[in-house]
Structure 1
């Protein structure tokens, strides 16, 4: 799996040959229940307060934007790799949209990420990005020719259809000439229209970047009259990270009846962001949620990139998501039967029917099974106790299994969220 790096590569794109086509390997996007619940205390004691539920269209959303070292690392291999400790993500129940990000012109999400997201009912988007002088030249050439605009849009949609991902994040990080800026707006409208026609249910998001009417690259850090026409032409806006409370209040007002389509950008690396990112990312998430706005988490792979022998990935990952879990809305599947081995798409061996069939380490997100709604820890991770632990010491299918343990001597429950035929099942109780 690779991106398309040049305008000519996009304009000249054609359907791949059968030998190079991984499109048929993409799983369809499964349905999600219409109901959701806030994350709460894990392994709650029996007799605790019941969980409150809402319909998904009544609550703000969470977008996960994956940016790691330029992208296309071990995740680029259609059949996986032997690097079992490559970056992975499994906490899909609290995520509404996943974006695969790179700095290439057209980022096509790798197969493994599409399949992992689709397995959990999460749409997976690619990215269209232009930057600097090269980006300016791309748009100057493209917007000067209506036939090129139409071909560009058409091929972007065909790529989306061929590889069965669910739309794009559009990020214009360069100046657009004042004479061309409204042509860019027309391009956005055309792309959205063609996506709706050929890929119903797809999503097009606008990144807070160039402005009307000047075409200057001026991040607004809010929704206002300089970027609202782009917002109106798309399914939402991803705000730049250097916002304050007043910016969010103004954004919510300007969004009118679409406040959940405003995604408050939060850089987990902390560049200009409230709380300075990292394990303080929860500070920025809380600020957005106070106004009932959606959030866009940029580069949560920070937990993997900044690990060390004394601060390993699994401990950092659990700590990060524990800190923001109270601000997430959890969704589950909408159809039965549901089966899972809890494999996360990696392991030290490959198991089938409980037997080892290969003793080689492996990594393949396409083989990730459905993951629990509740916050899951890791066996051997020195952290506050949780009653669900992922283990790779044993498995029934794939590379891992789930250990259910007790955090106290009282009867406890752990949750699952399944919505079937307009009803929601929230609690599965077990005395353990």
Structure 2
């Protein structure tokens, strides 16, 4: 496994401590020209891999008197900064593009994404980010189950930003344990020398996993095992069990490389030569040179563990079906036909081969074409605020009786996002520029929706549209595995605008300047999709959304579509939210007021309203016979929509998604959705 492009980041300066903690401080030159460690708020903390067995054995062994060592000083800091795995914010069931629902993870294919990018540990290694915005970010978290941070160093510790971005989207993130070639033989001999050395190695790897807050390892042994096969099986088994004892969510994935005889020979399949390792781990990552027969036999060999078989797809196309690149979806199609899980390797190919301004478009194209075979994580409510928990000021408005109907309500936020991708040319807050300095910090990546690159994402019958790319790719029809030679993407429908934003690093710009005749059809004109799983369990239910946006013309309008469905069937209903066409209102049954601050319930800490910001920027929206209210804030339109569910309570069982489109060009700076349950007093 490895990157095609021989580009590597500059080696970081030497660590300030030899603790082997995986975090070190870099030095800078002061105004006096003296090199000194950065201190206090300017301390430049940075992650690095563990490169030797001796360094691993030293982990956590600092002298108690050495109070300035990295491990002793930063251990608590890392834990405070690390976001836990937010899987409870998502439903256990997932949904496909065609509306097909899938239950828990043991009944559907999984998607693993392996990061491999320029050797790892670029600007992403900095705990507090960097001033270089032109870095790779991953955004397709809702279709991802496992993310692996990869490098060619012995123990790869995922940097903090990647951990936080993955966890905030409910995705597990793994580090990597790798041994390669002659040096790998020496490393393995030290690890497997005795039962004591195996136990000690397991202990250290578990400590690192717990201290840094990630979810396990990809175990990649790419060297011969000289008489140590049984010891390697013991090591893999003990490591898997020990991590599971720490947390049932931890896992070990074995890479298809060595065989039960100790030979380094990639099988490109699960078979009797490597199943002995699969049996003691949580899954296997197959090499890329597979064919139909190998996949067929792998599924049979796995039995009821078929979704623990992750079939490798190399975006660089090295020996891979269809040649990788923008033809990666053809390999995914083939894997899907065998009902196995996917392991997409090096999707940063888009970043490494394209200019920074262009790579997001190629990224969207790469993943949009794979989506018809993926299952998507559905949001579930993560923040409930009952009326008696709302501020005194707001409470007097929410339980009022202007229409003679006393009532209380629960308000639950399902998601809130300013669409920040973890970088920007500026920093924004409530529509104002906080800083003109570029920045990059994956810990500040907000919730990322699904973005479709093509104009038509689905047809109205809920079947994936086979987008025609014949004019874009020079593919030999006689050879399905021949790589594309023409890299052209469809005209983008959404771009990330870093020059304008409401909050964070920018806004999503929906490009639809030429009005389309079918823009009213949400299944063909909405490039932004947020899958939901909101059960309709109460007749007095209202969905409230906040959208903060602006356009160059009053004739350019934002379009929100709420999609409802029945369990076990494809029957769907679309409710439209816009200035000119909304669902039936609450019809004066209740007087409702909502505050903007209520919709920030699930945003990361760096975007939550401070008391000062709340007083200065909070807005209140009023509803009685209307179901739409709009305010203005620093040049941005703040629109609040209500979708009354009373009318469909008996017909539909759940709310399936929120779709976003536009009639014209608009910039979308913030979006949030919440559920109101009404109680008559």
**Does the 8 Å CA contact 2:420/2:446 hold for their aligned counterparts?**
yes
1:128-147 equivalence runs, <5 A: 128-147=177-196
Q: Distance in 1 between matches of 2:323 and 2:216?
A: 30
Instruction: Name the residue aligned to 1:403.
Output: 509
Q: What's the CA shift for 1:220?
A: 0.7
Q: Distance in 1 between matches of 2:659 and 2:328?
A: 32
Stretch of structure 1 that moved more, 400-409 or 161-170? 400-409
Q: Secondary structure at the match of 1:82?
A: coil
Q: Secondary structure at the match of 2:142?
A: helix
Q: What's the CA shift for 1:278?
A: 1.1
Q: Relative to 1, partners in 2 of residues 1:421 and 1:315: Cα closer, same or farther, differing over 3 Å?
A: closer
Q: Which of the two has greater strand per residue?
A: 2
1:371-386 equivalence runs, <5 A: 371-375=448-452, 384-385=490-491
Instruction: Name the residue aligned to 2:80.
Output: 24
1:417 and 2:647 aligned: no
Q: What's the CA shift for 1:425?
A: 2.9
**Does the 8 Å CA contact 1:172/1:207 hold for their aligned counterparts?**
yes
Of 113, 127, 139, the match for 1:78: 127
Instruction: Name the residue aligned to 1:264.
Output: 311
Higher RCO, Cα 8 Å, sep 6+: 1
Q: What's the CA shift for 1:387?
A: 5.0
**Does the 8 Å CA contact 1:412/1:430 hold for their aligned counterparts?**
no
Runs of 4+ in structure 1 over 6 Å off? none
1:168-187 equivalence runs, <5 A: 168-178=217-227, 180-187=228-235
Deviations 1:110-162 (A, max 9, x none): 11111111111110000000001111111112212211111100110110011
Q: Distance in 2 between matches of 1:375 and 1:127?
A: 31
Stretch of structure 1 that moved more, 410-419 or 193-202? 410-419
- Whichever of the two has the greater Rg, that structure is 2
Q: Distance in 2 between matches of 1:429 and 1:318?
A: 17
Deviations 1:336-370 (A, max 9, x none): 32221111101110112221111001111110000
**Does the 8 Å CA contact 2:53/2:190 hold for their aligned counterparts?**
no
1:285 and 2:332 aligned: yes
1:63 and 2:88 aligned: no
Instruction: Name the residue aligned to 1:45.
Output: none
**Does the 8 Å CA contact 1:351/1:398 hold for their aligned counterparts?**
yes
Q: What's the CA shift for 1:374?
A: 3.9
Q: Distance in 2 between matches of 1:4 and 1:136?
A: 17
Instruction: Name the residue aligned to 1:312.
Output: 358
Structure 2: state its 5+ residue gaps: 1-46, 62-70, 383-412, 455-487, 537-652, 663-681
1:213-292 equivalence runs, <5 A: 214-292=261-339
Q: Secondary structure at the match of 2:367?
A: helix
**Does the 8 Å CA contact 2:364/2:451 hold for their aligned counterparts?**
no
**Does the 8 Å CA contact 1:82/1:361 hold for their aligned counterparts?**
yes
Q: Relative to 1, partners in 2 of residues 1:222 and 1:424: Cα closer, same or farther, differing over 3 Å?
A: farther
Of 367, 377, 389, the match for 1:321: 367
Q: Distance in 2 between matches of 1:431 and 1:66?
A: 31
Q: Relative to 1, partners in 2 of residues 1:97 and 1:159: Cα closer, same or farther, differing over 3 Å?
A: same
Q: Secondary structure at the match of 2:450?
A: coil
Q: Relative to 1, partners in 2 of residues 1:171 and 1:383: Cα closer, same or farther, differing over 3 Å?
A: closer
Instruction: Name the residue aligned to 2:444.
Output: 367
Q: Distance in 1 between matches of 2:267 and 2:361?
A: 36
Of 227, 252, 277, the match for 1:204: 252
Of 51, 56, 59, the match for 1:10: 56
Q: Relative to 1, partners in 2 of residues 1:412 and 1:81: Cα closer, same or farther, differing over 3 Å?
A: farther
Q: Distance in 1 between matches of 2:83 and 2:661?
A: 36
1:109 and 2:158 aligned: yes
Q: Distance in 2 between matches of 1:430 and 1:315?
A: 18
How many residues were matched structurally?
A: 415
Q: What's the CA shift for 1:409?
A: 3.4
1:195 and 2:239 aligned: no
**Does the 8 Å CA contact 1:374/1:416 hold for their aligned counterparts?**
no
Q: Distance in 1 between matches of 2:50 and 2:271?
A: 32
Q: What's the CA shift for 1:421?
A: 6.6
Deviations 1:45-95 (A, max 9, x none): xxxxxx222224222011110001110001111111111111111111111
**Does the 8 Å CA contact 2:533/2:657 hold for their aligned counterparts?**
no
Q: What's the CA shift for 1:418?
A: 2.4
Q: Distance in 1 between matches of 2:425 and 2:233?
A: 50
Q: Secondary structure at the match of 2:379?
A: coil
Q: Relative to 1, partners in 2 of residues 1:383 and 1:238: Cα closer, same or farther, differing over 3 Å?
A: closer
Q: Secondary structure at the match of 1:304?
A: helix
Q: What's the CA shift for 1:188?
A: 0.6
Q: What's the CA shift for 1:203?
A: 1.2
Q: What's the CA shift for 1:226?
A: 1.0
Q: Secondary structure at the match of 1:257?
A: helix
Please provide the CA RMSD for this pair: 2.1
